Amino acid sequence: MSAQALIVSTPLCLYLIRHGETEWSLSGQHTGRTDLPVVAQGEHDAMELGKALKSTAFDSVFSSPLQRAQRTCELVDLGPPVRLEADLAEWDYGDYEGRTTADIHLDDADWDLYRDGCPRGEVPAQILARADRLLSRLRALSGNVALFSHGHFSAVLAARWLGLPIACARHFPLGTSAFSRLGYAVHHPGVPVIHQWNVMLRDEIVRAAQRAC
């Protein structure tokens, strides 16, 4: 048997990282295509996250093209060249851009993002298709892959990683500068699992960030 035949690829492990804090993430305003910068606290948190992940070797790094994700990616500084991925962009909130959920509920008390989408923005079927398309490409990779993205889209990505309906994304909230690890069950390599979710350095709950998936 040749040496090449003995090479075994490392199982895929997705590090899903939400961008650092912005003015609108602080106020709870829906931030889709509005290209806000990361505030000072967000930059600090990103650099601290970079320190926590420093000993983890990454094979690929992808970022949403929006500046809050790109800046977070730059500050975390994981090593490999960063590739911009349009499918990692946040939900397009359309007419609800810049509004809080409480404010939207004054007009539509029953509104639910994952069920209804946004007028003149993206609907759940579009987000579902975007997440599935991205995951299809990512599953062809191996090793540790970092994804710098946004709160609502990341929640959908997690739900779809597990094969759950998009409505289940509401159960996966994410804080700013938080990371999560998506991979496969150790003894059942075909079963997708969430190894860690919403790990936030500011809350001092980082536990074994460098453990292999």
pLDDT tens column, 52-66: 999 999 999 999 999
Q: What is the pLDDT of residue 202?
A: 62
What is residue 56's DSSP assignment?
Answer: S
Q: What is the pLDDT of residue 201?
A: 79
Residue 6 has pLDDT above 60, yes or no: no
| 159-194 b/e (C-beta count within 10 Å ≥ 16 → b) | bbbeeeebebbeebebbbbbbbbbbbeeeeeeebeb
Q: Which of 4-8, 100-104, 172-176 has the lowest mean pLDDT?
A: 4-8
Catalytic member of 21, 43, 85, 90: 90
The rounded distance, in Å, linking the Cα atoms of 79 and 164 is 32
Q: Where are the domains of the chain?
A: 15-203
Q: Rounded to two decimals, what is the model's pTM? A: 0.91
Provide the CATH number for the domain formed by 15-203 in this structure.
Answer: 3.40.50.1240
Q: What is the pLDDT of residue 212?
A: 45
How far, in whole angstroms, is CA 176 from its chain's centroid? 10
Q: What is the pLDDT of residue 189?
A: 87
Residue 2 has pLDDT above 50, yes or no: no
**Mean of pLDDT values over 79-96:** 98
DSSP string, 61-87: EEE-SSHHHHHHHHHH--SSPEEE-GG
Residue 213 has pLDDT above 60, yes or no: no
pLDDT confidence band for 209 (50 / 70 / 90) = very low
Q: What is the pLDDT of residue 184?
A: 96
Please indicate whether residue 19 is annotated as part of the active site: yes
Query: In angstroms, what CA-CA distances link 181 with 26, 124, 158?
Result: 24, 24, 9
Percentage of the residues of the chain whose pLDDT score is greater than 70: 90
**Mean of pLDDT values over 14-24:** 98
pLDDT confidence band for 203 (50 / 70 / 90) = low
pLDDT tens column, 153-194: 999 999 999 999 999 999 999 999 999 999 999 889 889 999
Residue 71 has pLDDT above 60, yes or no: yes
